[in-house]
Structure 1
């Protein structure tokens, strides 16, 4: 039996704003939205098979150090990788959404670049050749 990842849940400042740029950049749609655990609000954005749950708690807190490297912490979220069909077009959409593409790497079997969104979540955009 093989398992399939259904969704991942993130805490964000504004789930509607995060969903909006994901609609434009990744071509995803909102699958569901509504009240969530502990008085929060969630927007599920993705495709027919998988999605990201974008959760806003009733009272948000900002991490004390936004520049801390998540790779150094057990349980840290390091990045979310998204496979795209058109690498250059997606990079242009990332820039149009107001984000700055960072590291680019070309290696077997494809290409990738990274960017941080306005919640300081790192995304990896991947294209397989």
Structure 2
């Protein structure tokens, strides 16, 4: 049975913009939210005021709001993370960084309705939505995990395929600081992109 209705609400205010979509499915109503700048909750009539993490807001392409208790959709974990949304100070620099270090490929580029340049760069399964800010101002995300907001995003590489060392060597060749963590299971290292966004690369052993 197809969705019975769809309602769009647009939020515009200051530097923030987003679109939320309500879809009535047989399994219950769902609200999907696409954000272009600042975190917000499904169903809000206006976005949160910008905070220090505004610049690196994380946008999930699908957020489930009200799956009916006991329905197949409520029980089945059929969601996946599609993309992370980042606002950067220099779009061309960021595209080159993610392409050269992580082998990401540009999937799409253009402008949004606010006139912001944007690029989707990643793999066939997921991507980063990079937006170029107007003036390059704003605070970078904090490394203090006790602070509220975005901390880092993590990438998983296959065990024993050499990708872990390959990416780490590329980062080191560019004199980018690396911190390592080998607390079981697996191992991981962390580094920052040109705008201070922290990235984790992890590898887990085969079972």
State the TM-score bracket (shorter-chain normalisation): 0.7 to 0.9
1:52 aligns with 2:125: no
Give unpaired runs (5+ residues) of structure 2: 1-75
Give unpaired runs (5+ residues) of structure 1: none
1:16 aligns with 2:75: no
> 2:145 matched to which residue of 1?
71
Question: CA–CA distance in 2 between the matches of 1:67 and 1:11?
Answer: 12
Cα offset, 1:30, TM superposition: 0.5
> 2:168 matched to which residue of 1?
91
Question: CA–CA distance in 2 between the matches of 1:77 and 1:67?
Answer: 7
Q: Please list every run of at least 4 consecutive aligned residues from structure 1 whose deviation after the TM superposition is greater than 2 angstroms.
A: 57-60, 66-74
Shift in CA distance, 67/17, structure 1 to aligned 2, threshold 3 Å: closer
> 1:6 matched to which residue of 2?
82
Q: Higher helix fraction: Structure 1 or Structure 2?
A: 1
Higher Rg = 2
Question: CA–CA distance in 2 between the matches of 1:38 and 1:31?
Answer: 20
Count of residue pairs the alignment pairs up = 125
Higher relative contact order by CA 8 Å / sep ≥ 6: 1 or 2? 1
1:43 aligns with 2:116: no
Cα offset, 1:108, TM superposition: 2.6
The RMSD of aligned alpha carbons is: 1.9
Deviations 1:31-89 (A, max 9, x none): 001112422111111001100011112333132xx584452333x11011111242111
Shift in CA distance, 127/54, structure 1 to aligned 2, threshold 3 Å: same
Q: Say which SS state the counterpart of residue 97 (structure 2) adopts.
A: helix
Instruction: Give the TM-score taking structure 1 as reference length.
Output: 0.85
Shift in CA distance, 92/70, structure 1 to aligned 2, threshold 3 Å: same
